[in-house]
Each structure stands twice: as C-alpha cells, then as structure tokens.
Chain A
Amino acid sequence: MSTIPADLRYTKSHEWLRTLPDGSIEIGITDHAQQTLGELVFVEVPEAGRTLASGGACAVVESVKAASDVYSPIAGTVTAGNERLATEPELVNRDPYGEGWILRLKPVAGGPGPTLLDAAGYGAELEAGG
C-alpha cells in the first residue's frame, strides 16, 4: 500500500505536484511509482533555465531494470533540479514526497491545469489499476 498525501496534486503518469509559497511548483514521482520501479540507481534532473512544454519529458528515473521519463504536466521554466539526486538517487525511494523531489519550475501562465488529480482521485486511479 502506498502513501498519497492529501495536500498534493497528481497525474495519471504518477507525478506529484506541490505549490510552493513563492508560486513555483515542485514535482516528483509518487510512492507508488518508486515502489514499482524498485531501487533507483540514477536520476537525470533538468538544468535550471530549461523551458518545458506541458506534457514534455523533463527528467529520467532509472532503476536496475527499467528507465522511465518523468513528464511535466504544466509548461514552465525550470528554477532548480534536485542536485542531490546525482549522488543519492535513493532519496526518491526513501522520501518520494520530500527530499526526493526532482525539479521545481515557474509555471508559464496560471496554475496547474484541470487535468490534475487530487489525492482521492489518484487513489481511485491506482485502485482501478492505473
């Protein structure tokens, strides 16, 4: 059973989003995603300044047997990538919603769009086998 914090929003492709006090958005992968991938051995984070399109690949998470793209559900400019993940990819496994954040970005226009799920919606998605 994976945890799904109530204060975050989610995507069907297993990213979470947190709105920070300054209006920027922090993005990571969910507890369910890290459990499914298994022990991570490498995370490629985007560089600050990179502009992302909505739905574009923005990071790569790699475990022993698989590698997956992380998609940004919103368009924006990267303000930071989590540089600690370069040497400690296991942070994503240990603390997916905290120290294992992957990137922060400044959204282009408005906040996250309506395609995002709340915790209950994401939970239902997982129940349905998503």
Chain B
Amino acid sequence: MLDRIGARSIDDLFDEIPAELRVDSLPGVPSALTEMDVSRLAAERAATDGRALNFIGAGAYEHHIPAPVWALVTRGEIYSAYTPYQAEASQGTLQIMYEYQSMIAGLTAMDVSNASLYDGASALAEACLMAVRAHRRSKSARILLPATVNPWWRRVVRGITEGQGLQLEILPYDPAEGRMDPKSLDRFSGQDITALVIQQPNFFGQLEDVDALTRCARADGALVIAAVNPLSLALLAPPGEWGDGGADIACGDAQPLGVPLSSGGPYVGFMASRMEHVRQLPGRIAGRTVDVEGKPGFTLTLQAREQHIRRGKATSNICTNQGLLMSAATIHLALLGPVGLERVARACVARTRELIAALGRLPGVRVAFAGPRFHEAVLQLDRPVAPLLESLAAEGIVGGFDLSRDYPELGHALLTCATETRTEADIEAYVRALGRLLGRAAAA
C-alpha cells in the first residue's frame, strides 16, 4: 500500500508533524497487557468505586432504567450515534426520531420538536440564540437568566452566546422562597428584553410561579424560554400551557429518561417550540410523508435551516442529533407510558418529602426554602458542607451537592435529592449517618 501511494515508510506519512512534537517512548506507560489481564485490572478498579447510595441530583438524576431500553438501543440497527448521510435510506432511524419528537412535543405541549441536541446546557444556549433570531422586533439581544437556573448551564450559555453578542442578565431570587418573585420583573417594564428563561423545577428543586412569570414576560414583549425536567412534566403544567398562551421555546436535558449517570455524560438535550418559530429551530427534524406510490415514509424536513444548505446563515452549526441517547429516551418513554412516567414522578416526590422531613428534624439542619418542590431541596447546615460530604462518602453515601461555591449567600447549603431508586432503608441510612456526624462533631 505504501508503494501504491508513493511513500517509502509509514513514518513518511507523519512528516508534517514537527520532530519536537513527536514522542518516541512513553515513560510510565507499562508494556502491553493481554486482554485477560486488562479485564481483570479494570474489574478490580471498578470494584473500588463501590456502590454508593446516591442522593445527589443537581441536574443529573439516577433513575431505574428498564432492562429492555439498553438491550434494544445496543442492537446493531440502532447502535449508531449519527443520522446517516443518506438519511432516507434509514427509515427505522428516522421513525425513531419522529416518535421521539412526537413524545417531546406531547410532554411539553409545544407544536414541534427537533430530533435532539447535545445536552440540556447546550440546548438552553441554542434556545437563547433562537429567541434572538425569532424575536425580530427586539433589537437588544438581552436575555434574562435567573440565578435559579442551573449554574453550569448558565456558564455554558455564557460560553456559547457571549461571543455572538447576546447580553445575559442574571436575576436574583427571593431568599425566603428560593425562587423568582414575578414582581422583580417590574423594573424591566418598557425595556427591550428579548427573552426570559424560566427553569422548572429550578436548580434548588423549588417550583417557580411559571404562570405569573410568563405573563410578566409577555406583557413586556419578551419571549419565554422554558428549561424543564421532562420527568416533572408527568405532574406539572407543560411549558405550552404556562401563563396565557404558553412558553415560546421549551428545552432541557432528557437524561432522566433512560440515560445512566455515566459520571456526567454524554446526555441528551431536547428542544421544542411553537410552529411560528419552526424556521429558527436548530438541529434536525424528521417528518412523516408519502412516497411516489402513496406509501407512508419518513424524511428529514425543513433542511433549508441547516448548515449543508444555508452554510454560514444556518440556524446553528449543529447538523446532527444525539441519536443513541435519543433512541434510549424514546424506548424508555414508550415502555413507561404516561401512567408509568407519572408513577415514577410521584415516587420521586414522595421519597424526597420523606428524606427532607427526616433530615430537617436533625439538630443543626434547617430546610432552606418553604413552598412547593419536586424531587430536590436545599438544606442549610450549622457547619461547612464539604467535610460532612467527605465523611458520608467514606460510609458509601453520596449526600448531595455543596452549594457554597455557586451560592455563597446561602451559607453552608446542601442540595439533596431522592428519586424512586431510594428505598426507606436508604433514607434511614443517610439520616442516621448524617445525624451521627453532626452529633459527634458538636460533642467534640
């Protein structure tokens, strides 16, 4: 093969790479192991992770995933992350996309969904960019981003949008309720605001007054971007029904629908909108149509929004979707159905209520916010959170997320969560361990 392409040796192919950048040996890397040795090593290392009792949410949630989900997703016909280049040759892939879109549109009560995006954070960034394109009367590109929106998502939104001229304005929350006070929007009355982001449930697990916030934003002529946990929509009002007339764009992370935690990713973003904004919706969209013989089939549609046709003026540089995880979410939702999804959501609410009630009774622990919540809550402790979390981890308990870096105003604050996967015994174990740690330290 080298002869054929006119190269003397394999090294010729790497001539372009300057010699000083090349590494001849890899000190510290052991010589090759056999497959058997590698498997054994990996199994031993994996065992050291243990099987921690997980009470951390903060944007990624542990849920039971029925066995058929990944048994099906890993089948050869589905196990490819990308939309094929000759998309219409893969009718099965397109049909899964179409079913997924129908489910997302149904859950969010929006008109149209795309075929998924990378994750919740980048979906929110895309939603902000979309709002600027869609709101043609607004010239400010000003986006109101409450501090109750997931702080990592806010960082990603800043990273993706700021270079594109968007102005992000972080809004404070009501310190007693841990959510937005709709009256705090009054000061923007009469100003040119492009969009308001509302996360529901918010990062603290509290429920925002989405109807009042949506009405306020509309009265000021701003679009409304809903960032939602899709599981919560089994119980809560969908974005399409918020306020009078609903949100304009709904987005979020579909990780709670069949995607394992996997140390933080990959996850899968979703995005849906009103039909009037569909040409500004980024990403792929599968549509149902009929072929020349009148038989039903699936096709990629509205492609003129996309990069391969619109080039630099495309709605986004996203020209694929999160195919594998989208397929998992679709199968997960199909298996659970509306009733199953509601049961899971109710179990999460019940477990979290038990957890928060029990932890709140411990001396030195205070539940930070009153008001309705979903499956997560903020606790304020009488001492720094980080050392307590370390001690809990030593007992195999992942107690929650330390909020002191992102929300120093809350003091020693811990965000904790219980999904349907936590049993009464799990909750008891956590409460006992934390009680012991708090008591011991106080006595010392």
Contacts from A to B (Cβ < 8 Å):
42, 44, 47, 57, 62-63, 65-67, 69
Contacts and interface: CB of A to CB of B under 8 A. Distances in A.
Contacts of A69: 313
A66 B137 contact: no
Query: Lowest 5 A-B CB distances belong to which pairs?
Result: A67-B304, A62-B304, A67-B310, A67-B309, A47-B136
Nearest to B276: A86
A47 B313 contact: no
Nearest to A64: B304
Contacts of A62: 304
Interface residues of B, number: 7
Contacts of B304: 42, 62-63, 66-67
A69 B310 CA distance: 9
Interface string B123-147: 0000000000000110000000000
Chain A's interface: helix, strand, loop or mixed, by majority? strand
B279 A44 contact: yes
A70 to B, nearest CB: 12
Chain B's interface: helix, strand, loop or mixed, by majority? helix
A103 B292 CA distance: 36
A67 B136 CA distance: 19
Interface string B271-311: 00000000100000000000000000000000010000110
Contact of B137 (A42, A44, A47, A65): A47
A66 B279 contact: no
Given A63-B304, A66-B304, 9 more contacts: A42-B279, A42-B304, A57-B313, A62-B304, A65-B309, A66-B309, A67-B304, A67-B309, A67-B310
Nearest to B305: A67
Contacts of B310: 67
A57 B310 CA distance: 13
A57 B311 CA distance: 14
Nearest to B279: A42
Nearest to A50: B136
Contacts of A63: 304
A65 to B, nearest CB: 8
15 contacts: A42-B279, A42-B304, A44-B279, A47-B136, A47-B137, A57-B313, A62-B304, A63-B304, A65-B309, A66-B304, A66-B309, A67-B304, A67-B309, A67-B310, A69-B313
Among A62, A63, A66, max chain B CB count under 10 A is at A62
Nearest to A42: B279
Nearest to A44: B279
Contacts of A44: 279
A21 to B, nearest CB: 29
A67 B305 CA distance: 8
Contacts of B137: 47
A109 to B, nearest CB: 24
Among B137, B279, B304, B313, max chain A CB count under 10 A is at B304
B208 to A, nearest CB: 32
A47 B137 CA distance: 8
Contacts of A47: 136-137
Contacts of B313: 57, 69
